[in-house]
Amino acid sequence: MKRNKVEICGVNTSQLPVLTNAEMRELFAQLQQGDRRAREKLVNGNLRLVLSVIQRFNNRGENVDDLFQVGCIGLMKAIDNFDLSQNVRFSTYAVPMIVGEIRRYLRDNNPVRVSRSLRDIAYKALQVRDQLTNQNLREPTIQEISNYMDVPKEEVVFALDAIQDPVSLFEPIYHDGGDPIYVMDQIHDEKNLDAHWVEGIAIREAMRRLSDREKKILSMRFYEGKTQMEVAEEIGISQAQVSRLEKAAIQRMQKHIQS
């Protein structure tokens, strides 16, 4: 079967080579011995990996050639830092690095300008989060990240919020098989006091039907702004249990409000 020819940055994607796992290991062994030609073969042999990753970002409106070039930078970093002694497939190691490089590019080119100092704090916080997650086998709290960085908690939160991508008003946030609920559906007119008053009564009535633990979880999550991990630590249950209880409580409230 003839593959369709698609060119990205002058590269004919239909002619990209595919390396077997054995070929990959042999090339990495050659690279570790200083063979620079092996590096070039590894790059060319994994360009399809970059192509598969950039498809995740097709809806960003970015030039595909630019994303491909940035993804190649992430691929080369992955090749240069891959440890052959670890029992991990190269693709498993490389994909997060390629994704991270592209996300960094998108953040730095975000039309909403963020100061360099804020970006530096945010990227450092993300690195610390990954480091503490690997170290403790759980996601750290914002306070733990703050303590590790010796940066005020509020500053860490503000920096992480600042690098988040803008959300479209037409972004779906809930879908139960019927009509989806979009972000714009959650934007209320604060001047409409009657609707606000009725809605408040409905929510309070729905809250009364929840158990004390469910009320506490929703209060900590949506009024105090705590993460599921922080709630789990304070209550003494797992993060998965918090997630399940939170989802069930919200569904029961929605059914009561809609009935």
**pLDDT (0 to 100) of residue 20:** 84
Cα angle 227, 108, 154; round to 5: 35
**pLDDT (0 to 100) of residue 187:** 60
> Which tokens is 102 given?
């592209």
Intervals of the chain under pLDDT 50 = 1-6, 193-195, 197
Burial class, 62, CB count within 10 angstroms (exposed 0-12 / middle 13-18 / buried 19+): middle
Q: How many CB atoms lie under 10 A from the CB of residue 171?
A: 11
> Which tokens is 182 given?
């979009």
| Alpha carbon separation from 186 to 4, 227, 248, 252 (Å, rounded) | 44, 21, 20, 19
CA Rg value for the chain = 24
C-alpha 6/C-alpha 106 separation (Å) is 24
248 HSE (CA, 13 A, CB side): 13
**pLDDT (0 to 100) of residue 259:** 61
- Domains of the chain: residue spans and CATH: 1-109 (1.20.120.1810), 113-166 (1.10.10.10), 172-258 (1.10.10.10)
